[in-house]
Amino acid sequence: MLDERAARETVVAAADRLFYARGVQSVGMDAVRAEAGVSLKRIYSIFPSKEDLVVAVLALRTRQWTRGVERAAAGAATPRDRILAVFDFLDAWFREDGFRGCAFINSFGELGATSPRVADAVRAHKEAFGDHVLGLVRDAGLPDPVALQVVLLVEGAQTTAAITHDAAVAREARRAAAALLDTAEARNP
């Protein structure tokens, strides 16, 4: 039998796979039970509601996103390169089998109007990413508004790639970001 931590991780990973592939609302807790191999009684002792499980899945996704962005930027030599590395991360992610867009945008679209906790988790993730990009923009010596412009390119790329199934969107968004950075650098020598 799995200890509490292992059971929690197993259930969250199973729910993540199912929610991402099929959508949160279309996945019942019985499907999570079957995927995780953990009894419903145990699942509900860990996650008293499906909403609790969705919030835990979003926390997992935040950790995955942060690690992915950090790994992509690890070899970048300059702040500018670290900004553009976000788009390299997107390019690799968009090419993965089963890519269905941003789990945060998807969850917000499904539950944001009815679940303040899910909406708050999504907002917290998006704000943390915005703060990360703001730090990179400041490190590059660029004006703060450039951060929001870069974030908009990231968000737009995720949505467009999910809808069109075109992984090349990340490369185009990267080109747009590079042009944006060139313009900002020229205006702010």
Model pLDDT for residues 14-32, shown as the tens digit of each residue: 999 999 999 999 999 999 9
> Over 90: is that where the pLDDT of 188 sits?
no
Q: Assess contact for 120 and 111: CB atoms under 8 A.
A: no
| In a shared domain, residues 121 and 37 | no
pTM recorded for the entire structure: 0.94
Residue with tokens 């917000």: 108
- Statement to judge: residues 108 and 143 lie in one domain: yes
Residues 152 and 103 in one domain: yes
Nearest to 24 by CA among 97, 116, 103: 103
> Domain ends where: 48, 67, 84?
48
CA distance readout (Å), 182 to 3, 122, 140, 185, 187: 53, 31, 11, 5, 9
Which CATH number fits the domain that encloses residue 29?
A: 1.10.10
Does residue 118 share a domain with residue 101?
A: yes
At 152, the pLDDT band (50, 70, 90 cuts) reads very high
Residue 44 and residue 32 in contact, taking contact as beta carbons nearer than 8 Å: no
Distance CA 26, CA 136 (A): 38
pLDDT at 1 > cutoff 80: no
pLDDT above 80 for 127: yes
42 and 63, same domain (yes or no): no
Calculate mean pLDDT across residues 44-56: 97
| CATH code for position 147 | 1.10.357.10
Q: What's the rounded mean pLDDT across residues 65-88?
A: 96
Q: Looking at the 3D structure of the chain, how many domains does it have?
A: 2
Q: Are residues 63 and 152 in the same domain?
A: yes
Looking at 12, 31, 48, the residue that finishes a domain is 48
- Range of the structural domain that residue 12 is part of: 1-48
Q: Are residues 26 and 99 in the same domain?
A: no
Contact of 83 with 181, CB cutoff 8 Å? yes
Is the domain of 103 the same as that of 30? no
The structure tokens listed for 142 are 């660029």
- Over 80: is that where the pLDDT of 145 sits? yes
* Structure tokens belonging to residue 159: 């949505």
pLDDT of residue 16: 98
